[in-house]
Every structure is written in structure tokens, then in C-alpha cells.
Amino acid sequence: MSSVGEYGRLSDDELLRRTATDREAFGELYDRHVRAVLGELRRRGLSTDEALDLTAEVFAAALVASRRYRPGEAPALAWLLGIARNKLAHGHRRTATETAARRKLGMDRLTYSDDALERVDELLDAERVYTNGTATLPPAEREAVVARVIEERGYDEIAAASGATPAAIRQRVSRGLAKLARLGREGE
């Protein structure tokens, strides 16, 4: 859900650098990587509600530790996934909501409705199809689909960045999504 504004154009390293004085910068980083962290925790065997709780803890810990992040050493996503692995290794599956980072930030324990948990599972399943399936698309279609669906960029912005027309981008996205839909139906 990356924004198209100022924050959407910044690198992860720059967002983390700005976090000390601008919490909205961290919000952009969260938007970029929350699905990846959540998906990784689900793949490691946590239930959806456990994964949601631990994801909140991971980002709270990352916010607290953001001043210690060293740009260029590892991508921010790798750093976040490392925090997630450390949280799992320390046995925080059931007690993730009771750990220090969230308390330090004054964050309340999150609760989720059954509908919300189901929606998260649907989003993760859909993202897995798109992520795995995009590798099978021709490069121009893959780039257009990722920019439009995953990065949530507008057709005009994608067109400007690629040198194509908005109509051409729409066509690439449409064709790519149709191929991914067929792939998803074949995988059922």
C-alpha cells in the first residue's frame, strides 16, 4: 500500500533514517513490508492471529530499534525478517503481545474479528499466487502487474516510469492478471 507521494519515492534506508524525527516515514516502511513479514510468519507455522500479533511486535521492535539500523548492510526487509526470526526463536508465539517493545510504545493488545483473520488469509493466498506467478510473465507484463497490484501505483505513474502510454500499461496489467488468474485456477 505504498503511497505515491514523497514517502513512496524514498528508499527503505531513507525512510528508516527519517523515522527518528518523522513517524510517518516508518508508516510507509510498514506499508511496504507488512505483508511480507506476516506471510513469513504464517509460513513458519503460526496461526493467522498469532502471526498478526507477532507482526505487530516485529514492527514495534523495529521502530524502537530504528536508530540502530545500518543502511547498506542488509535490505530493510531482511532486517525486519531477522527481527521476526529472533522473536520466534525466543519463544514469543503466544506472548508476543506482552513483550517490551509494544509496552514501551504504549500500544494496546490488538484483537481481530474472524472476518479480519479470514481476510488476511485471503490476501496472503492471493499475494502468493501473484508473487509466484509473476515470475512466469513476460518482463513488461510482470513489471506492470507488480507496479499496479503489489505496489499500488497509478497507470500514469507506471507509464511515466516505463516510457509507455497509460493505455499500454493497462493492457499489460490486464493480460498479466488474466494469465495469473488462469494460473491460480490451475493450482486449485
pLDDT more than 90, % of the chain = 20
Summarised one tens digit per residue, pLDDT across range 145-185 is: 878 876 778 899 899 988 999 999 999 988 888 887 777 66
Average pLDDT of the segment spanning 98-115: 68
**Spatial separation of the C-alpha atoms in residues 98 and 161, rounded to whole Å:** 44
Residue spans in the chain of domains classed CATH 1.10.1740.10: 1-111
Average pLDDT of the segment spanning 120-128: 66
Residue spans in the chain of domains classed CATH 1.10.10.10: 113-188
CATH 1.10.1740.10 fits domain 1-111: yes
- 36-40, 96-100, 168-172: the lowest-pLDDT one: 96-100
- pLDDT score, position 46: 85
The domain 113-188 is classified under which CATH number: 3.40.50.300, 3.40.50.10490, 2.170.190.11, 1.10.10.10? 1.10.10.10
Position 116 pLDDT exceeds 60: yes
